[in-house]
């Protein structure tokens, strides 16, 4: 029973009609996975009505409308005297009121003109904007249909949180196909009742009719939230039992070398009290007969890496190996650059292993790991590829732990003999929740920054004042400051996203020659190259314009200015993370939050929180109170929200119910609970 549905869940999205490998990898970026299941767990964030109007005069700026228009003329776009102009299709509605359709992507010019031939009626649907210069405009309509096909345009539409290169149309197409297959293939003859009910709830959530249907307390969302909580809580309960029954043989092993004294001697700075306390807590765990499972929470810049280092060195005293797992190549490289010199001084072999290592070089690294010669291995999930063997893996350190999926985590555990686990996270969980979220993990908190850090000055500014801002930062750039300039993703249209970053880049490049650009549609290698150039102290690249693809932990000490556009669209925790990329050196750093015209009073209030405090815990708490899940950008990266359907604020009673249900002695034999654990990928923190 249920085997087929799990096979279907695990199907790669590229096998869905119309998807293919390129789109599948874009889905991977947004969903954090590329299986049908990953798609199913991705809930729409709201429902957009597409009001059918007779005239643009009946609409307001920003409305999403569907309207019949007659195509009047075409104005070919392109680049004229260095200025980029969009392609314009001039139309008129039934009352002869003008409406211009604009396309920025010049590549598809003929295609658009063919779809909108002069002298014909078309039904179009999209977001309407009014400007003084051009009147009514729709940029990149979501739908263009002939009058006969008008019913192909939905009257309301589920809008999914998206990313670069994925349109809402693609989401709808994939969703429709997935549910068609579900209807066709799965029924009471091959699927359990629990599973069928679960699928039914998913279907309701993926085909919402109103925003109520997506509210936390609507029947189906609440049902899915309960399933998710039950999965987590049962995993936590099982893990607690397993861990208590395991013995950590290493704890009893004798120390062979004395490395810690040396370690403290070669440190270029004095550890903060909080760092020292955390290290002590870890060392006490090492002595215990059960494997360690500890989470270190500390704000960006609080010095978690050094704590991890100390743990690895201590491990090496007994001859055991440690791995430090980073979420990306770039971060692994940065860790390696810092940790390797320290290990050298201590006489410890430290190595790096990422997906880039190939051939002979890789084989040599593997031999060194297998022989036990390499004591500290830094890398990405490549560290846990099937052919990687360890002689005596004692400690697994996971940086930015929320970014790893369960498969990797299970793989890690299996490489060692009940290794100790140490997770590092920069995103604090409000203390009220940490028990329910992390359950059986012990938590150390680094609530202190290294001495001499100058607090970042944070201000907010309406985007109209951007020229004044450019003038203000110019002299600082002259003096050697580096600037991160982050533009957001817009969920509906990848083109206008790219435009946002692209046009800001062009603008800034005029002022600051050699500005870099980095976005998700670029080849990853090129992206890494740009990032590395920016990080290089001596490069001419002073300003880096990017979307949020720039990694969380990247360390550029000379970067002292962080500008975030449309800051109102990000979650507070995500903004705090972004801000943490400056203020790492000895210079005064600045964070400027630019907000758009449509910012709400609440939006301003949220930005004020950030201007007023630098305390990650306060911010996390406020973030939790001020937003609903999924409505803001960056929730994925923000770490402590790892739930798909659970809303921290609204589902507290469900937390308790799920906890009680999971206390059952036979919870490990409960098939449905096990299936849910698989679905929600949550053996993770629970380790089961």
Q: How far apart are CA 481 and CA 543, in angstroms?
A: 9
Q: How far apart are CA 645 and CA 630, in angstroms?
A: 9
- Comparison of 576 and 627: residue with beta carbon closer to ligand ADP: 576
- Comparison of 157 and 333: residue with beta carbon closer to ligand ADP: 333
Q: Which of residues 446-475 bind ligand ADP (CB under 6 A)?
A: 450
630 binds, among Mg ion, ligand ADP, none (CB under 5 to 8 A by kind): none
- Which of 77, 165, 298, 583 is in the footprint of ligand ADP by CB under 6 A? 298
List the structure tokens of 514. 């050699």
- Comparison of 87 and 272: residue with beta carbon closer to ligand ADP: 272
Q: How many CB atoms lie within 10 A of CB 401?
A: 24
Tell me which H or E stretch contains 422.
strand 420-425
- Comparison of 166 and 446: residue with beta carbon closer to ligand ADP: 446
List the structure tokens of 305. 């890496």
Per the CB < 8 A criterion, the answer to whether 289 and 247 are in contact is: yes
Q: Which of residues 516-555 bind Mg ion (CB under 5 A)?
A: 553
List the structure tokens of 669. 């034999």
Task: Name the minimum Å distance from CB 272 to ligand ADP.
Answer: 5
- Which of 166, 300, 443, 486 is in the footprint of ligand ADP by CB under 6 A? 300
303 binds ligand ADP (CB under 6 A): yes
33 binds ligand ADP (CB under 6 A): no
Q: How far apart are CA 668 and CA 665, in angstroms?
A: 8
Instruction: Please classify residue 455 by burial: count the beta carbons closer than 10 Å to its beta carbon, then call 0-12 exposed, 13-18 middle and 19+ buried.
Output: exposed
- Which of 162, 233, 239, 275 is in the footprint of ligand ADP by CB under 6 A? 275
428 binds Mg ion (CB under 5 A): no
Count residues contacting Mg ion (CB under 5 A)? Answer: 1
Task: Name the minimum Å distance from CB 399 to Mg ion.
Answer: 6
Task: Name the minimum Å distance from CB 639 to Mg ion.
Answer: 12
List the structure tokens of 227. 């399933």
Q: Which residues contact 301 (CB under 8 A, 6 or more apart)?
A: 449, 450, 453, 580, 583, 584
- Comparison of 581 and 627: residue with beta carbon closer to Mg ion: 581
Determine the interface stretch with ligand ADP among 123-131, 298-306, 325-333, 526-534 (rule: CB under 6 A).
Answer: 298-306
Task: Name the minimum Å distance from CB 557 to ligand ADP.
Answer: 7
306 binds ligand ADP (CB under 6 A): yes
126 binds Mg ion (CB under 5 A): no
- Comparison of 423 and 654: residue with beta carbon closer to Mg ion: 423
Interaction pattern, residues 255-274, with ligand ADP; x per rule: CB under 6 A: --------------x-xx--
- Comparison of 275 and 321: residue with beta carbon closer to ligand ADP: 275
Per the CB < 8 A criterion, the answer to whether 290 and 243 are in contact is: yes
- Comparison of 319 and 450: residue with beta carbon closer to ligand ADP: 450
- Which of 66, 87, 278, 302 is in the footprint of ligand ADP by CB under 6 A? 302
300 binds, among Mg ion, ligand ADP, none (CB under 5 to 8 A by kind): ligand ADP
Tell me which H or E stretch contains 79.
strand 78-80
Strand 78-80 versus strand 559-564 pairing type: unpaired
Determine the interface stretch with ligand ADP among 56-64, 207-215, 302-310, 409-417 (rule: CB under 6 A).
Answer: 302-310
Q: Which residues contact 145 (CB under 8 A, 6 or more apart)?
A: 122, 123, 124, 152, 153
Count residues contacting ligand ADP (CB under 6 A)? Answer: 16
Tell me which H or E stretch contains 577.
helix 572-579
- Which of 165, 301, 616, 634 is in the footprint of ligand ADP by CB under 6 A? 301
584 binds ligand ADP (CB under 6 A): yes
426 binds ligand ADP (CB under 6 A): yes
Interaction pattern, residues 550-579, with Mg ion; x per rule: CB under 5 A: ---x--------------------------
Strand 143-145 versus strand 121-131 pairing type: antiparallel
Strand partners, 423: 295, 398
- Which of 223, 304, 375, 381 is in the footprint of ligand ADP by CB under 6 A? 304
41-70: buried (b, 16+ CB within 10 Å) or exposed (e) per residue?
Answer: bbbbbbbbbbeebebbeebeeebbbbbbbe
- Comparison of 400 and 565: residue with beta carbon closer to ligand ADP: 400
List the structure tokens of 303. 């010095």
Closest residue (Cβ) to Mg ion?
A: 553
428 binds ligand ADP (CB under 6 A): no
423 binds ligand ADP (CB under 6 A): no
Secondary structure class of 171 (helix, strand, coil): helix
In three state form, how does the secondary structure of 305-324 look?
A: HHHHHHHHHHHHHCCCEEEE
Strand partners, 457: 590
583 binds ligand ADP (CB under 6 A): no
616 binds Mg ion (CB under 5 A): no
Per the CB < 8 A criterion, the answer to whether 339 and 376 are in contact is: yes
- Comparison of 302 and 495: residue with beta carbon closer to ligand ADP: 302
- Comparison of 403 and 627: residue with beta carbon closer to Mg ion: 403
> In whole angstroms, how large is the CA radius of gyration of the chain?
27
Token look-up 């049908």 returns 36
311 binds, among ligand ADP, Mg ion, none (CB under 5 to 8 A by kind): none
- Comparison of 528 and 551: residue with beta carbon closer to ligand ADP: 551
List the structure tokens of 302. 């609080």
List the structure tokens of 193. 């009742």
Per the CB < 8 A criterion, the answer to whether 246 and 418 are in contact is: yes
305 binds ligand ADP (CB under 6 A): yes
Closest residue (Cβ) to ligand ADP?
A: 303
Write the DSSP symbol of residue 12: B
Secondary structure class of 619 (helix, strand, coil): helix
Token look-up 């654990």 returns 677
Task: Name the minimum Å distance from CB 671 to ligand ADP.
Answer: 41
Q: Which of residues 551-580 bind ligand ADP (CB under 6 A)?
A: 555
Write the DSSP symbol of residue 9: H
Q: How far is CA 627 from CA 247, 436, 624, 631, 642, in A?
A: 43, 19, 6, 8, 15
- Comparison of 342 and 641: residue with beta carbon closer to ligand ADP: 342
Q: How far apart are CA 107 and CA 86, in angstroms?
A: 11
- Comparison of 553 and 616: residue with beta carbon closer to Mg ion: 553
351 binds, among Mg ion, ligand ADP, none (CB under 5 to 8 A by kind): none
- In 3D, which of 610, 359, 360, 366 has the Cα closest to residue 351? 366
- Comparison of 195 and 426: residue with beta carbon closer to ligand ADP: 426
Per the CB < 8 A criterion, the answer to whether 399 and 323 are in contact is: no
Strand 376-379 versus strand 350-353 pairing type: parallel
Q: How far apart are CA 117 and CA 110, in angstroms?
A: 10
Task: Name the minimum Å distance from CB 274 to ligand ADP.
Answer: 9
Write the DSSP symbol of residue 568: G
Task: Name the minimum Å distance from CB 397 to ligand ADP.
Answer: 11
Determine the interface stretch with ligand ADP among 11-19, 247-255, 296-304, 432-440 (rule: CB under 6 A).
Answer: 296-304
List the structure tokens of 218. 């609507």
Q: Using CB under 6 A, list all residues that contact ligand ADP.
A: 269, 271-272, 275, 298, 300-306, 426, 450, 555, 584
């Amino acid at each position: 029973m249920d085997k087929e549905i799990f096979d279907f869940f695990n199907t790669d999205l590229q096998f869905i009609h119309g998807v293919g490998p390129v789109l599948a990898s874009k889905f991977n970026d947004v969903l954090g996975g590329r299986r049908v299941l990953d798609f199913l767990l991705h809930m729409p964030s709201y429902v957009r009505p597409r009001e059918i109007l007779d005239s643009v005069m009946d609409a307001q700026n920003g409305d999403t409308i569907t309207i019949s228009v007659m195509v009047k003329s075409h104005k070919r776009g392109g680049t004229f005297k260095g200025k980029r102009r969009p392609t314009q299709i001039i139309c008129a509605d039934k009352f002869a009121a003008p409406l211009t359709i604009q396309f920025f992507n010049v590549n598809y010019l003929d295609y658009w003109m063919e779809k909108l031939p002069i002298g014909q009626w078309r039904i179009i649907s999209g977001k309407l904007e009014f400007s003084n210069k051009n009147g009514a405009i729709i940029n990149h309509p979501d739908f263009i249909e002939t009058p006969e096909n008008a019913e192909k345009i939905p009257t309301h539409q589920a809008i999914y949180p998206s990313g670069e290169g994925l349109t809402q149309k693609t989401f709808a197409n994939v969703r429709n196909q997935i549910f068609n297959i579900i209807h066709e293939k799965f029924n009471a003859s091959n699927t359990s009742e629990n599973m069928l009910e679960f699928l039914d709830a998913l279907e309701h959530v993926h085909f919402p009719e109103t925003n109520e249907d997506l509210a936390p307390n609507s029947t189906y969302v609440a049902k899915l939230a309960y399933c998710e909580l039950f999965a987590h809580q049962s995993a936590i309960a099982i893990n607690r039992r397993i861990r208590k029954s395991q013995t950590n043989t290493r704890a009893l092993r004798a120390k062979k070398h004395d490395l810690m004294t040396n370690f403290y001697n070669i440190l270029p700075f004095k550890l903060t009290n909080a760092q020292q306390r955390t290290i002590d807590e870890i060392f006490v765990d090492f002595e215990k007969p059960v494997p360690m499972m500890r989470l270190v929470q500390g704000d960006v810049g609080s010095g978690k890496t050094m704590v991890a280092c100390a743990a690895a060195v201590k491990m090496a005293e007994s001859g055991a190996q440690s791995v430090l797992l980073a979420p990306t190549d770039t971060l692994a490289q940065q860790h390696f650059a810092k940790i390797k010199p320290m290990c050298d001084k201590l006489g410890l072999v430290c190595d790096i292993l990422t997906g880039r290592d190939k051939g002979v070089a890789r084989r040599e690294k593997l031999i060194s790991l297998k022989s036990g010669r390499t004591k500290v291995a830094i890398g990405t999930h490549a560290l846990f590829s099937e052919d990687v063997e360890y002689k005596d893996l004692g400690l697994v350190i996971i940086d930015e732990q929320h970014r790893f999926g369960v498969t990797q985590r299970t793989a890690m555990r299996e490489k060692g003999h009940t290794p100790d686990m140490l997770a590092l996270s920069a995103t604090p969980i409000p203390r009220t929740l940490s028990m329910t979220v992390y359950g059986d993990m012990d938590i150390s908190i680094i609530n202190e920054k290294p001495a001499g850090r100058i607090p970042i000055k944070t201000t907010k500014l309406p985007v109209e004042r951007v020229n004044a801002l450019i003038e203000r930062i110019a002299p600082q750039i002259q003096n050697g400051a580096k600037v991160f300039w982050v533009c957001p993703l817009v969920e509906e249209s990848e083109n206008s996203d790219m435009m946002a970053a692209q046009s800001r880049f062009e603008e800034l490049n005029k002022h600051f020659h050699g500005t870099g650009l980095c976005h998700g549609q670029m080849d990853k290698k090129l992206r890494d190259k740009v990032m590395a150039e920016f990080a290089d102290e001596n490069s001419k690249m002073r300003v880096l314009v990017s979307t949020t693809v720039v990694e969380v932990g990247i360390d550029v000490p000379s970067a002292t200015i962080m500008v975030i556009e449309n800051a109102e669209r990000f979650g507070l925790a995500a903004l705090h993370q972004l801000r943490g990329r400056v203020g790492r050196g000895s210079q005064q750093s600045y964070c400027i939050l630019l907000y758009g015209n449509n910012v709400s009073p609440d939006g301003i209030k949220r930005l004020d929180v950030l201007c007023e405090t630098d305390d990650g815990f306060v911010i996390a708490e406020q973030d939790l109170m001020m937003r609903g899940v999924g409505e803001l950008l960056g929730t994925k990266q923000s770490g402590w929200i790892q739930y798909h359907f659970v809303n921290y604020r609204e589902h507290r009673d469900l937390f308790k119910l799920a906890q009680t249900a999971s206390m059952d002695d036979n919870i490990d034999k409960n098939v449905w609970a096990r299936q849910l654990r698989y679905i929600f990928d949550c053996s993770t923190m629970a380790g089961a």
